[in-house]
Amino acid sequence: MTSPNSSKQTEFDVIVAGAGISGALAALRLAVSRTADLPSLKILLVEKEAVPGGRLRSYAGDAVSVPNHQDEGDATKTPAWGYGLNGVSKPLIEFWQQTMRADPDSVWDPDFFAAKEQCTLGILSGSDLSTLPLNQMFAGKGARALGGMAAARQWDHVTNILNANRQVDSSLDSSLDSPTALDSGESGETLEAVEAVEAVEAVEAVEAVEAVEAVEAVEAKITAAKSDGKADQKTFAQVWTESRKSPAAVVLEQFCPVIGITDLWSTPPEAFCERVRYHTGPLKRGPWQVAITEALQKYIDAGIITLTTNCRVMAATLDSQWQLTTTQGSFAAARLIVAQPPWQALSWLPKHHWPASLLAMASKIKPVSAVTLTERLEKSAAGDLPDLIMIPAEGVQAIRSSEDEITFQATIDFEISVQAPEVVKAVKRLKRARKKLLSARAGCMSDHERIALVTVAWGQSAAVSETKLLRRMTKSAINSAKLAFCGDCYGASYVGDENVIKSVVSATSIIGQSLQQSLQQ
């Protein structure tokens, strides 16, 4: 997996720190878009783990071959354990395809990769494992499966919030980008006309019995937007009209950890709706580290990309060029792309190199963490297991990361993740959940397990108090000709894949321009 000459070459044109999907795509975009003026482009892609893929990796067969760094050519077998965070959306796969097709000689396509689309939801109650379509999770069927008829009867309130936000998302984003638009005469009248059409569309989208409530929800958000341009800073508690102890509210609180939300009531409705649409959509899961390696292989063989694994960055300095000190030696390059979450990169990239808005975000916003327990599946007994299983009694969800792996997750706040007693409690919940699933499906798992603490499971915590910082970071110029950032944490969207796409495009565009300008000087 590591290039044969990785131990010899120390100077590159670009260093990409992190070989998850963002770092891999950044390296690929630079490699495939090189022109005849850059035939000798050299990119170093460093990864602290034994295999690329980051949070997207999962178990693939018995092991993944990884060349030994000390003994060139000696391949060792390294198992790749996952975290259950490897769902990839259709837009991200399409972006990956577009990247590869920019090279007319490339024949690799992510569609060729054998990933499985998630489609079923299981709810474990005692020893009974019921199954329903995953896209019904936040619909009446999902509410009834988890909370009974009482929750299902109240679910119209959830449906109205989802429908209202679906209609006003674009108009609210526009009002936030142009705060004065609502104050101008003609613009105000035009916006009111658009809002009226959206309200009518919302009415047509729901059943007649829900029509009035849906329109009122849309109008309430429009009114808030006109009054202060800050409708997205409302909390879910402010738009929820029922008791927090109602059956529907209890079901929502049990569903939310699955979508990376630890406190529903302090979350903006927009964040809740974005996460619902993403996590109940047609995500594809599989051992994506294999796909990433296959996509990189052509450029590794050509000497354009050097992939160095087991390579943790320890420090970085910038003089005339970047100098990175790593566990595999020192490397130099004129340009650096940080493809790690900011909370990790802050340990080695000095603060004075960070853009102010990005440093403020990393200092004041905390991600959402997860404690995971990963098991190997016994295919003979696990064939009918749902793709996502909820164990409400333990507050745990289990995700089939691949055909060979299942991961139990306990979603926790970042602050709690640094408290050992709380992590131990989460581990105990995971083990009880595992035992309960085994009682319902005897023999579906092996007796090997791996427990991990994923400090950055979701980049955005979905708290209203952090919305302003995220938007400020997104609007600021965080990339430069020498230093750029990309990943699911670098953006204001509550859907990580969208942030990946936008940030990779931004980072590679400015670094690519810098490479071209260096030839003209």
Same domain assignment for residues 110 and 257: no
* Cα–Cα dist 491/489, whole Å: 6
Same domain assignment for residues 162 and 80: no
Same domain assignment for residues 147 and 209: yes
* Cα–Cα dist 298/103, whole Å: 11
Q: Are 97 and 364 in contact (CB under 8 A)?
A: no
Q: Show which of 269, 297, 319 is a domain's final residue.
A: 269
Same domain assignment for residues 264 and 152: yes
Whether residue 389 lies inside any domain: the answer is no
Q: Show which of 269, 301, 325 is a domain's final residue.
A: 269
pLDDT computed for residue 484 by the predictor: 97
State the helix-helix crossing angle for 247-255 and 140-153, rounded to 10 degrees.
150
pLDDT computed for residue 76 by the predictor: 47
Whether residue 384 lies inside any domain: the answer is no
In total, the chain counts a number of residues equal to 521
Whether residue 386 lies inside any domain: the answer is no
Q: What domain count does the chain have?
A: 2
Collect the ranges in the chain with pLDDT lower than 70: 1-8, 35-37, 61-79, 166-232, 521
Q: Are 372 and 59 in contact (CB under 8 A)?
A: no
pLDDT computed for residue 143 by the predictor: 95
Contacts of residue 229, Cβ cutoff 8 Å, sequence gap at least 6: 175, 176, 179, 182
In the block, tokens 């050509």 appear at 302
CATH for 508: 3.50.50.60
Same domain assignment for residues 223 and 324: no
Three-state SS letters, 45-100: EECCCCCCEHHHCCCCCCCEEEECCCCCCCEEEECCCCCCCCCECHHHHHHHHHHH
Q: Which of 226, 143, 241 is nearest to 187 (CA)?
A: 226
Q: Show which of 244, 269, 294 is a domain's final residue.
A: 269
pLDDT computed for residue 112 by the predictor: 77
- Convert 64-99 to b/e letters by CB count within 10 Å (16 or more is b): bebbebeeeeeeeebebbbbbbbbbbeebbebbeeb
Same domain assignment for residues 264 and 150: yes
pTM: 0.85
* Cα–Cα dist 278/123, whole Å: 20
**In whole angstroms, how far apart are CA 419 and each of 179, 262, 329, 354, 457?**
42, 16, 33, 28, 17
Whether residue 400 lies inside any domain: the answer is no
pLDDT computed for residue 77 by the predictor: 53
State the helix-helix crossing angle for 185-205 and 208-228, rounded to 10 degrees.
160
Same domain assignment for residues 471 and 505: yes
| For the chain, the helix, strand and coil percentages under 3-state DSSP, each to the nearest 5 | 45, 20, 30
Angle of CA points 261, 220, 142, to nearest 5°: 40
Whether residue 122 lies inside any domain: the answer is no
Q: Are 146 and 121 in contact (CB under 8 A)?
A: no
Same domain assignment for residues 232 and 323: no
Instruction: Print the domain residue range for 488.
Output: 11-114+286-364+465-520
Whether residue 353 lies inside any domain: the answer is yes
Same domain assignment for residues 208 and 295: no
Cα dihedral 455/459/463/465 (nearest 10): 100
Same domain assignment for residues 261 and 179: yes
* Cα–Cα dist 90/117, whole Å: 10
Same domain assignment for residues 254 and 158: yes
pLDDT computed for residue 78 by the predictor: 56
Tokens of 467: 């919305």
* Cα–Cα dist 318/314, whole Å: 14
Number of Cα atoms under 13 Å in the Cβ half of residue 108: 19
Whether residue 215 lies inside any domain: the answer is yes
283-297 pLDDT tens trace: 999 989 999 999 999
10-63 pLDDT tens trace: 999 999 999 999 999 999 999 998 766 677 899 999 999 999 999 999 887 654
Same domain assignment for residues 261 and 294: no
* Cα–Cα dist 332/317, whole Å: 10
* Cα–Cα dist 444/385, whole Å: 9
Whether residue 5 lies inside any domain: the answer is no
